[in-house]
Amino acid sequence: MRASNSGAILSLFLHYLLAVSASTTQYPSTVVDGDSIVQYIATSAIDAPKVSTINATSYDYWYFDAVSLDHEYSVVAVFYAAPKTSFPFLPKNQQILAAQISVQTPGAVTINTTYATAATLTVDDINNDIEGTWEGIGAAFTGTRNMTLYNVTFESEEQLGVSGFASFKSIAPPHYVCSPAEEGANMELLPHVGWANAIPDAHAIVELEINGTRVSFSGVGYHDKNWGDAPFQDAVTSWYWGHARVGPYSVVWFDAIASNGTEYASGYVARDGQILGIACGTDKAKVRPIGNTTYPPHTESNTPDGFQIEFDLGEDVGVFEATAKAEALALQSQTGVYSRWTGGISGGLRSEGKVFNGTSLFDQFALTS
């Protein structure tokens, strides 16, 4: 009896030790040979690392953006653990720990990328507080429990020419491709690409100094992460993604074509801090370009004027539809592979017959010519 009692106490104690500990992932600056263990079923904190070690064909990254309400300013910050072999849009470098910031101001876009010598990602096992530090370059992010408050900070005058912060106060619940953020949920957007959206919509505050110029605004914020166990360019043929605040609605869309030609789509709408519906699959969610362009998009396609979004959110809620206008470039690759825009968006629930105006930021990948 005694032995089993102390065994029970010991096991309780161990349990306590494990429970109060934090999980820290440390990334080396280059790829590690061998198999990456990649997670597509939700079992850990939504923002925890999803790839055990980064090899030459896997990647994991954390993405943040904020766009001003007049959509003339935006900031996108991305923290990568990604080799160029699996995420070819990064600068040529043997290193994998890129921190990247792009800033859109009226008539200008600046992007800067720098590499950290190491990075650590710590998730507190009790309350899921998260902290990511890309070391030696003054770039970091923190997130508090239940994903309500995030802060991306830069003290990177030398490496990125940027100092300041972008903070995010969430106003819409987190979600995965087809479900709210719950354990056991599917996180695979399309084969070999994972997606977890911790902050679909947030009140964002941006206070940055870039090259000695102050960029400060408040607006609509967003944060997610992507990862994969195969090179992005081998898994994806094209993709449309975006997010918006339209009147009382927080909106997120994805509509992508996998390498074998199959289309995958997901649409999310929240209102008053609650998920109104998630449209899952191509029979429920559809995003198409407008203007004199082609679908699917190719690298040679004309720039779309914007996107038409339609989600069937089920019998109770009905159809949500909106049109996002590509009014300003937030980033564009010279190759035509990648474009990001900001612009106004108008839409709402068809059943309400009311059209709201709002603010959106969205992108397009076209990986074939």
Which residues contact ligand NAG by CB under 6 A? Answer: 35-36, 38, 55-58, 103, 110, 112, 145-146, 148, 151, 153, 158, 160-161, 165, 167, 191, 210-211, 213, 229, 260-262, 292, 302, 346, 356-357
Token match 């206008």: residue? Answer: 325
For ligand NAG, the closer CB: 119 or 322: 322
Q: Which is nearer to ligand NAG, 14 or 20 (CB)?
A: 20
* Least distance (Å) between residue 110 CB and ligand NAG: 4
Q: Are 304 and 323 in contact (CB under 8 A)?
A: no
- Please report how close the Cβ of residue 1 comes to ligand NAG at its closest, in angstroms: 41
Q: Tell me the closest approach of the beta carbon of residue 162 to ligand NAG, in angstroms.
A: 7
Nearer to ligand NAG, 11 or 262 (CB): 262
- Closer to ligand NAG at the Cβ: 6 or 351? 351
Cβ 101 to ligand NAG, closest distance in Å? 9
Q: Which token pair is 320?
A: 């949500």
Q: How far is the CB of 281 from ligand NAG (least distance, A)?
A: 12
Give min distance, CB of 292 to ligand NAG, in A.
Answer: 4
The answer to whether the beta carbons of residues 357 and 287 sit under 8 Å apart is no
Straight-line distance from the first to the last Cα atom of the chain, in angstroms, rounded to the nearest whole number: 73
Q: Which is nearer to ligand NAG, 36 or 95 (CB)?
A: 36
Residue 217, strand partner residues: 206
16: left (phi over 0), alpha (psi -120 to 50) or beta: alpha
Residue closer to ligand NAG by CB (options 4, 260) is 260
- Residue nearest ligand NAG, Cβ-based: 161
Contacts of 8 (CB under 8 A, 6+ apart): none
CA–CA distance, 156 with 114 (Å, rounded to integer): 10
Q: Are 156 and 138 in contact (CB under 8 A)?
A: yes
Closest CA to 76 of 89, 62, 86, 63: 63
